[in-house]
Amino acid sequence: MRIGELARRTETAPRLLRYYEQQGLIFPRREANGYRDYDDRLVDRVLQIRGLLDAGLPTRIIKQILPCLDAPRTIHFADATPEMLDTLEGETERMTRRIQCLTRNRDAIVEYLAVVKQLA
């Protein structure tokens, strides 16, 4: 598929898709005319990248952990640095706090909706 189709399917700007390619996060094929050809599996990969970026991970860390997120989930880092491990531990803790906050907010909204619907 062309970059426009991948952009539409992932709701990601083509400029960002080119940036992901530049950062070594995705690898489209090149056709004879030089156009990028994106495999269907890159839809999930781009969504995964966006989720990790939204969670606060930098692209340099995402690039290192992306291969571990494919099936099968055999994780092996021959070159895992102490900095990378510290970063991942910190991000995991931050994500956990964010999940807890989102859960509290969701529960409050659900409770609010239940009360409002009873009054209606």
pLDDT digits (tens, 9 = 90+) for 59-97: 888 888 887 777 645 555 667 788 888 888 988 898 899
Could you tell me how many residues make up the chain? 120
pLDDT (tens digit, 9 = 90+) per residue, 8-35? Answer: 999 999 999 999 999 999 999 999 998 8
pTM: 0.68
In sequence order, what are the beta bridge partners of 7?
Answer: none
Q: What DSSP string runs through 9-78?
A: HHT--HHHHHHHHHTTS---EE-TTS-EE--THHHHHHHHHHHHHHTT--HHHHHHHGGGGSSS-----T
Residue 38: name the closest of 47, 50, 26 by CA.
26
